[in-house]
Structure 1
Amino acid sequence: MGTLGDTLITKQLGLTDYESVWESMKNFTQSRDQDTPDEIWVVEHPPTFTLGRNGKEHHILQETSIPIVKVDRGGQVTYHGPGQIVIYLLLDLHRRGIGIRQLVTLIENCIVELLSAYEVTAYSDAKAPGVYVDKKKIAALGLRVSKGRTTHGLSLNVDMDLTPFGYINPCGYEGLEIIQCKDLGITDSMPVLSEKLTAIIHAEIMKAAETAKTTD
């Protein structure tokens, strides 16, 4: 029989502004205790640039009406907007026996697995977190880990206006091209892709935790 701590709850937040979700993430993490179930939040954001805690403002190339939010995750600047799946992982890594690098690899592999189901060959890059197709970035990743508890997560470009990526050096890389599922002939809707990716992530997190238990 699993314990409360083994539970992983998925919540669909719909289209919600970035800062309110970020504030909720912080509140959730600060108030949780050793028995609080882990959660996965699935959300879509209105147009927003986010700049990581060590992010350099010179990677923002052009002033626009899109808000810039300085956040507490790792990484540089990225863009969120309608047509992009954003998944936040609120996990207790110590309880699950999962390491930070292991989690990053797990997330990237889950996105690669999703795309492979559509016969798209994607891959990760150890020097630049995220997922790529033909050297173009399709998914970004940025986490904050404090006392073994995670906030933030990943974004997957599905069917969105990619223009704002041209106003920044995405993830701090000059000239990095951005791609999305629609460009690769993937026609499934946001809800379908979101459900599939969330299911893969859920299964892999549970599997990783079970493996950690058996090797203790």
Structure 2
Amino acid sequence: MKVLVKHLGVADYAKTYEAMQTFTKERNANTPDEIWVLEHPPVFTLGLAGDASNLHTPSNQIPMVQVDRGGEITYHGPGQLVVYLLLDLKRLGIFVKELVFRIEQAVIDTLLDFGVRAERKQGAPGIYVSEQDGAPGEWLGAKVAALGLKVSRSCSYHGLALNVATDLEAFGRIHPCGYEGLKTVDMQTLGIKDNIDIISQVLLKHLQKQLSLSELDNIR
């Protein structure tokens, strides 16, 4: 069965969140899986395990939305590649932990394609910059991608956010994932000049491989 890949441009967070919930609630065993590729206007989102005090410097211009994904607080905004994975895990034959591992691997492989080494960290969801060949260690350990999922009736929604050319100052207003002092970086700061569309195509290729998806049908 084809997976529908919907390229949604810049989409309001609250409306997209509601649409994900509705899609998951109304889908059945014959509903094709979907992947939504988009960016959001500036917004902070707080997961189920979140502590609102981790937004230590609120902004009147950036709202905060409480959501039903796992994880803590994060920021979404223009220049960040967001990919929502609306998948029937029973049909794919994978469990949640395996899904998380495969998504993380797709992000790691994508970054490596652009010359950036990255890794997982035990107990800290997301993807982090690891030691680079011949590169200064300024961004060693900085978070470059976030991950948060919700599974309902064996179907996933929410997904991942990869910082491509993002407002890093906004991350300075929060303790990312609840960790005070955690550095956050984007691909542009790491020297990657490719645009977000090119990076999204590479990431989709790796997601297709990692999730063993037979065919992607892009809808723009």
CA distances 1:148-192 after superposition (whole Å, capped 9, x unpaired): 110100000001211010111001111000011001111100111
Give the equivalent residue in structure 2 for 1:192.
Answer: 198
Check whether the contact 2:80–2:165 (CA below 8 A) recurs between aligned residues.
yes
Question: Please, which runs of 5 or more residues in structure 2 have no aligned partner?
Answer: 130-139, 215-220
143, 153, 176: which one pairs with 2:149? 143
58, 77, 80: which one pairs with 2:53? 58
- Correspondence 1:117-132 to 2 at 5 A: 117-132=113-128
Task: Name the % identity.
Answer: 47
Check whether the contact 1:38–1:90 (CA below 8 A) recurs between aligned residues.
yes
What TM-score, normalized by structure 1, do the two folds share? 0.91
- Correspondence 1:156-175 to 2 at 5 A: 156-175=162-181
Q: More deviation in 195-204 or 147-156?
A: 195-204
Q: Tell me the SS of whatever aligns to 1:49.
A: strand
- Correspondence 1:1-216 to 2 at 5 A: 6-65=1-60, 66-133=62-129, 134-206=140-212
Check whether the contact 1:8–1:202 (CA below 8 A) recurs between aligned residues.
no
1:207, 1:150 → 2: CA distance? 15
- The count of aligned residue pairs is 203
1:106, 1:129 → 2: CA distance? 13
- Of Structure 1 and Structure 2, the greater helix share is in 1
Q: Which has the higher contact order (CA 8 A, sep 6+)?
A: 2
How far 1:9 moved relative to its partner? Answer: 1.3
1:46, 1:119 → 2: CA distance? 28
How far 1:207 moved relative to its partner? Answer: 5.9
Return the letter of the residue paired with 1:181.
M
Instruction: State the superposition RMSD in angstroms.
Output: 1.2
What TM-score, normalized by structure 2, do the two folds share? 0.90
How far 1:8 moved relative to its partner? Answer: 1.3
2:202, 2:117 → 1: CA distance? 17
Give the equivalent residue in structure 2 for 1:214.
Answer: none
2:121, 2:213 → 1: CA distance? 23
Check whether the contact 2:105–2:210 (CA below 8 A) recurs between aligned residues.
no
CA distances 1:182-215 after superposition (whole Å, capped 9, x unpaired): 011111001110111112112221269xxxxxxx
Question: Please, which runs of 5 or more residues in structure 1 have no aligned partner?
Answer: 1-5, 209-216
1:206, 1:36 → 2: CA distance? 18
2:165, 2:174 → 1: CA distance? 19
2:191, 2:107 → 1: CA distance? 16
